[in-house]
Structure 1
Amino acid sequence: MRKYEELAKAIVEGVGGKDNIISLAHCYTRLRFKLHDEKKAATETIKNLDGVVTVVQSGGQYQVVIGNEVGEVHDEIVKSQGIADGSAAEKTEPDKNMNLLDKFVDIISGIFTPILGVLAASGMIKGFTALFVALGWIEEKSGTYQILQTIGDGLFYFFPIFLGITAARKFKMNEFSAMAVGAALVYPTLSVIFTGQPLYRMFEGTIFASPVQLEFLGIPVILMNYASSVIPIIAAIYFASKVERGLAKVIPAMVKGFMVPFFTLLIVIPVTFIVIGPISTWAGQIVGAVTTGVFNFSPILAGFFLGAFWQVFVIFGLHWGLVPIMINNIATSGTDHIVAMTFAASFAQTGVVLAVLLKTKHAKLKSLCVPAFISGIFGVTEPAIYGITLPRKKMFVISCIGAAIGGGMLAFFDSQYYMFGGLGIFGYPSFVNSAINDMAGMKGAMMVSAAAFMLGLLMAYPLYRDKEEIKSTVVPKDGNGLVEKEFFTSPLTGTVRTLEDVPDETFSSGVLGKGVAVEPIEGRVVAPADGTVATLFPTGHALGLITEKGTEILIHIGIDTVKLNGQYFSTKVKQGDRVKQGQILVEFDMDKIREGGYSVITPVLIANFQQYLDIIVTEKKEISYTENLITVIA
């Protein structure tokens, strides 16, 4: 991950710094910047960066072409440079074309990603403090314990303030007003009132029965403990963002600077205490009860399921939906079973990586395995997933099997998180029950993670084969031995063009791959070979296939068609689907795309062309779906 961090920093500096960036997005292969002044960008310097393919300036965008790793580089820029979440971002709200699940994941990831590092660090400090007490190294009455506990617990106690900042960035409102809302929720004086004698009780005889400690303008206020809470502050800031924007439209500009925050706080904080806070807290308790109930219905089955699919959730970003549930469960009940069941997944993945490292004879793959193994030990498995196991499908499945068994074992031993802490080996202290100084959960987690690691290693080692050992059709070449050939039919019907005919330097120069282009006469793309949909961009304009023999094929429908945001494209498959040659992948409306001013010429590229002796394209001028378009020679 270090290389992405350094590359992200260098790219931001190269485009003229953070202040020169209006917005940032990415498509299948490129980072797409909108800059205040493109003349400030050091284009030649960026082109020469290790990890950058080239730079294209087109359509008002400054496009830095990365290739297959564009997603990782984009995420690193968002995380380390704060572009998408800062005031320089032009658009941080979810795209209107997203479905509800995508919008939910986008909001949650946008709110939690900026604080995830310090959140894990604080949890680790709390975890190690609990561990040191359980081991008898420090006493709870000692000053050392008090300071360590303060360091670890400070973030969690004032969590609404931190979430107020990140939620404000996501919902686009004044961050300091949002902090004030969060601070009000954890105001110490109200905490004292919360523990006092109630005036009376409301909703008696229901699950919402609550004491009323005070009134505001005669309206009863049900005080809740908002320290470490998640849902109330996010709901409050969403409401506050709407109030603030409404006030900004009606308050005169000369007094807007202080009157908008004045009325925002005066409206939002009472409404939060009276309505939003209690309802959100009850919702959080219901979520915690439901997730615990689902787990208790069949703990081992839940462990198997969560363990097996955790890495799949990570690939598609769905794991963000479980992170706030985990934090909410710890805040409401003190423990979390749900995400705890996924703890063994990183160890199973790392065991598979070690098997590949020990078995492969390829120096380049070995060089990828070493850092992936090290990062995996510390719970960071993206290098292992994307670089090692996912491209070798069987290895990824084995890691999921090991994770599933590990999840079932964790459930069997009733392992649970008592705090949100570190990843990998740094996650062990999260299983220590500090309330009774019990280390049984941590010992169980250590045994299960070791078992998952060994399962991944022992299952993967005998089954792993280097790709070159997979035999395919062979033909003699110049009498000097045998070579492998793989044939691909055309994914489109139309006129064959050379890459030089493509009106985009990135494709015409061949830096993204070798191949050919097709000017289609029919708005349909079919699979050129049996394989797996490795990548499918949400807009449907580009997709990548990996054949059963490991060839990576990129099909990019039209030029700059990402700007259509999926309009006129209809995908017929999903990312991860196995497809057969001739199967329809995407349909598109050529006429509408052309009317929008876009070319529909479609590059068909072999992305991993460096692994082959030669890439041969057809000499035909017109091509149909059943005819060979490209031949690769290994």
Structure 2
Amino acid sequence: MGKYESLAKEIIKYVGGSDNIISLVHCVTRLRFQLKDESKAQDEVLKNMSGVVTVMKSNGQYQVVIGNHVPEVYADVCKLAGITSGTQEVTKKMSMKDKVLDTISGIFAPILGVLCASGMIKGFLALFLFLGVVSETSGIYMLVDGIGDALFYFFPIVLGYTSAVKFGMTPFLGMVIGAALIYPTLQGVDLEVFGLTINATYTSTVLPILLTNILAAYLYKALNKVIPTVIKAFVVPMFVLLIAVPIGYLVIGPVANVISDGLANVIMGIYGFNPVLAGILVGFLWQFLVIFGVHMGLVAVGIIQFMSGQPTPIFSLMFVPSFAQTAVVFAMWLKTKDKKLKEVALPAWISGIFGVTEPAIYGVTLPRIKYFIISCIGAGLGAAYIGFKDLLTYQMAGLGIFGFPGFINLDGDTASIMMHVCIALVIAIGFSFTATFILFKDDKNETNDEVLESTRMGQEELMSPIKGQTIALTDLKDEAFNSGILGKGIGIIPTEGKVVAPFDGTVVTLFPTKHAIGLVSENGCEMLIHVGVDTVRLNGEHFEAFVKQGDVVKKGQLLLTFDIQAIQDAGYCLETPVIITNSNDYTDVIETQDQEIKPTDKLLTVIL
């Protein structure tokens, strides 16, 4: 078992156990689960778990953001949960949009790492050829060129595997279908079958194998229901191959190639209409697409263009945002005096250099939304210049600084291209870094006399945010809180449906469902107020918020209201944990002994 066995066990436990997992894939930073029942997953526990950046729900997937070491965590989760490359039937209801995006992600996410690696090999080889380090006739060039080109040439076989897994068919059958479509003697020849003459080449294509495997998976499932068990292991694959491959080669493939060309033409048409506008939109919105996990749609179109031999503007415009995000985090790391922020920001901006920005987004800028927007603006400006200079990428490359080889064009002025790419990055990085460096200030207000006095005394007193009856944390019905895994604190059974600020500070988190709010005091104490048990399922009904994330609040200021009777009538318990989420930063957290509490009363005391 790997070194992340303990983390993997906790993840499996808090997504509802291995029996709740339908399927699992991973991308560069995320574990992407499909769960039978998402309500069994304990979001808050996972979000606050050491080793987990955050949790996202998008496109029918339950996404646990891990960071750069996600492959190792994925391997341990698979081993502990008994997950293999086999298939399971997905019964969960999803919208058509969610199904499409989930399918694209499931097919392409498992191969993005090796896809980028192959692209980097091709890009660096093109660079060495451009610099005269190697020649096209040398043996080493031919060998390395074959290594870099192998995945792209045999792409239908690889997609045959991943799409078969996604469509519910044995993956090796999917691989054979892909291999049949690119069988050498069938490529680029006039093939007469049933009076039809077809001349097609399917090497380095995407859509033909994907659409053919949709048909194959349907046949596979249908035949498995009617073929006797004793012979189905070889008879089912035989019939699937004999039916799906001819239809795929003669009908689906030619149509799919037309669709591929059409998609590429539409994208290039929009880009051709106004490349600057395209740059602004893609650059500004790219990080939002990453947050919601829907960026794979654009990635898939870019890959299709590559496979058809066309350079693409998509990866050029995607190249800029990671640098803008990294510049913002680097500026914050330089200016902050907050030790915790420095500790989070350092690995985040280092990771961002290599194009992996989720730690920076979720750990640093998104909780401080102003700086996230600054990075989006910087990305839009840099990508606008990319569009203005019509800079395209010519092969798949890596993320971050490893994306440079993608711009190498042996038939063009590579030196000039690289110069303009650097200018675009200077624009994005320069704006993002400068704006952040000028505007950034730590949340703490060192001029507050009461805070300074509390600091000298070595403690901070926090008043109650809610009127009600106190209850020990261990007596709460919610296991995520009564275990103390989220931090020390106390419970309150509300008698009045109001939540007020327990101290002067800042709203760092306001859940969209308005049932929970996170605050940080001017002295750095972090508090989570979670109204009720499992009230997230109310989707905001019976709750009203009077502040938003990022607001500075004063002690006693109204934050939320909630309808006690309506929530209880809906069948929910109103036991409300008040948690100090950074309680590990303190020597102790002391709860009040009073059974009745009101907002002017002292609730908790943190000892420095």
TM-score by length of 2: 0.78
Q: Are 2:175 and 1:179 aligned?
A: yes
Alpha-carbon distance in structure 1 between the residues aligned to 2:290 and 2:564: 25
Instruction: Confirm whether residue 366 of structure 1 aligns to residue 359 of structure 2.
Output: no
Of 18, 34, 41 in structure 2, the residue corresponding to residue 34 of structure 1 is: 18
**Number of residue-to-residue matches in the alignment:** 557
Task: Indicate how the Cα distance of structure 1 residues 512 and 350 shifts in structure 2: closer, same or farther if over 3 A, else same.
Answer: same
Answer yes or no: is 1:608 the counterpart of 2:561. Answer: no
Matches within 5 A, 1:8-157: 8-12=4-8, 30-34=14-18, 66-68=46-48, 69=52, 71-73=64-66, 76=71, 79-81=74-76, 83=78, 86-87=83-84, 93=90, 95-96=92-93, 98-157=94-153
- In structure 2, do the counterparts of structure 1 residues 441 and 615 end up closer, same or farther at CA, with 3 Å as the change threshold? farther
Q: Are 1:514 and 2:488 an aligned pair?
A: yes
Per the alignment, residue 166 of structure 1 pairs with 162
Uncovered stretches (5+) of structure 1, i.e. residues with no partner: 16-23, 37-58, 194-212
Q: 2: CA distance between counterparts of 1:222 and 1:544?
A: 63
Please give the secondary structure, in 1, of the residue aligned with 2:259. Answer: helix
Contact 1:569 1:589 (C-alpha < 8 Å) held by counterparts: no
Partners in 2 of 1:374 and 1:587 — Cα distance? 50
Cα 1:346–1:61 change in 2 (3 A) is: closer
| 2:555 is aligned with 1:581 | no
The 1:354/1:392 distance shift into structure 2, 3 A limit, reads same
Task: Decide whether the 8 Å contact of 2:271 with 2:278 is kept in 1.
Answer: yes
C-alpha contact (below 8 Å) 1:295/1:338 kept by paired residues: no
CA distance in structure 2 between the aligned counterparts of 1:525 and 1:329, rounded to whole angstroms:
55
- Name the counterpart of 2:555: none
Counterpart among 278, 286, 289 of residue 302 in structure 1 = 278
Indicate how the Cα distance of structure 1 residues 135 and 279 shifts in structure 2: closer, same or farther if over 3 A, else same.
same
Counterpart code for 2:406: S
The residue identity in structure 2 corresponding to 1:367 is E
Letter in 2 for 1:421: A
Which whole-Å deviations, capped at 9, do the CAs of 1:577-600 have from their partners, x for residues lacking one? 779833679998755657xxxx66
CA distance 1:432–1:115, change in 2 (3 Å):
same
| Deviation digits for residues 264-307 of structure 1 (CA, Å, limit 9, x no counterpart) | 11121122123322332222222212222222222112211211
Deviation at 1:126, TM superposition (A): 0.6
Q: In 2, Cα distance between the equivalents of 1:155 and 1:513?
A: 48
User: Partner of 1:432 in structure 2?
Assistant: 408
Contact 1:160 1:228 survives alignment (8 Å): yes
Q: 1:283 aligns with which of 246, 253, 259?
A: 259
> How far 1:432 moved relative to its partner?
0.8
SS of 1:503's partner is coil
Q: 1:466 to 1:125 in 2, by over 3 A?
A: same
Displacement of 1:396: 1.8
Change in Cα spacing, 1:416 to 1:542, as seen in structure 2 (3 Å) is farther
1:411 maps to amino acid? G
Verify: 1:217 aligned to 2:194, yes or no. yes
Residue by residue over 1:410-455, the C-alpha shift from the partner in whole angstroms, topping out at 9 and shown as x without a partner, is: 1112111111111111110100113457443333223322442233
| Contact 1:398–1:459 (8 Å) recurs in 2 | yes
Residues 1:362 and 1:64: Cα distance change in structure 2 (over 3 Å): closer
**Contact 1:78–1:85, Cα closer than 8 Å, also in 2:** no
Structure 1 residue 331: Cα displacement: 2.3
Q: CA deviation at 1:141?
A: 2.5
Q: Matched residue of 2:577: which SS?
A: strand
Residue 366 (structure 2) pairs with residue 390 (structure 1): yes
Q: Which moved more, 1:291-300 or 1:230-239?
A: 230-239
SS state at 2:4 partner: helix
The equivalent residue for 1:272 is 248
Distance 1:139 1:265, change over 3 A: same
- Corresponding position of 1:21: none
Structure 2 gaps of 5+ residues are: 21-38, 55-63, 552-557
TM-score (norm 1): 0.75
Counterpart contact for 1:472–1:484, Cα < 8 Å: no
One-letter identity of the residue aligned with 2:101: V
Quote the residue 2:288 is aligned against: 312
Question: How far apart, CA to CA, are the structure 1 residues paired with 2:469 and 2:197?
Answer: 72
* Corresponding position of 1:240: 216
Match of 1:191 among 187, 197, 221: 187
One-letter code aligned to 1:555: H
Report the CA distance between 1:500 and its aligned residue: 2.1
AA at the equivalent of 1:172: G
How far is the alpha carbon of 1:630 from its aligned partner? 6.3
Indicate which of 451, 473, 478 corresponds to 1:499: 473
Whether contact under 8 Å (2:478, 2:533) holds in the other structure is no
Deviation at 1:328, TM superposition (A): 1.1
Is this contact kept in 2: 1:67–1:512, CA < 8 A?
A: no
Calculate the aligned-residue CA RMSD, in Å.
Answer: 4.3
Whole-angstrom CA distance in 1 between matches of 2:415 and 2:89: 43
Decide whether the 8 Å contact of 1:344 with 1:452 is kept in 2: yes
Note the alpha carbon deviations across 1:478-523, whole angstroms, 9 max, x for none. 7957988776744xx986543222134441132213344455799x
The change in CA–CA distance for 1:79 and 1:482 in structure 2 (over 3 A counts) is closer
Partner of 1:192: helix, strand, or coil? coil
Find the aligned partners of 2:564 and 2:424 in 1 and give their Cα distance: 44
| Aligned equivalents of 2:285, 2:114: Cα separation in 1 | 26
2:369 and 2:307 mapped to 1: Cα distance?
38
The yes-or-no answer on 1:354 pairing with 2:338 is: no
Is the contact between residue 34 and residue 61 of structure 1 (CA under 8 Å) also seen in structure 2? no
SS at match of 1:318: coil
Is the Cα–Cα contact under 8 Å of residues 168 and 237 in structure 1 kept in the other structure? yes
Question: Residue 313 of structure 1: CA displacement?
Answer: 1.5
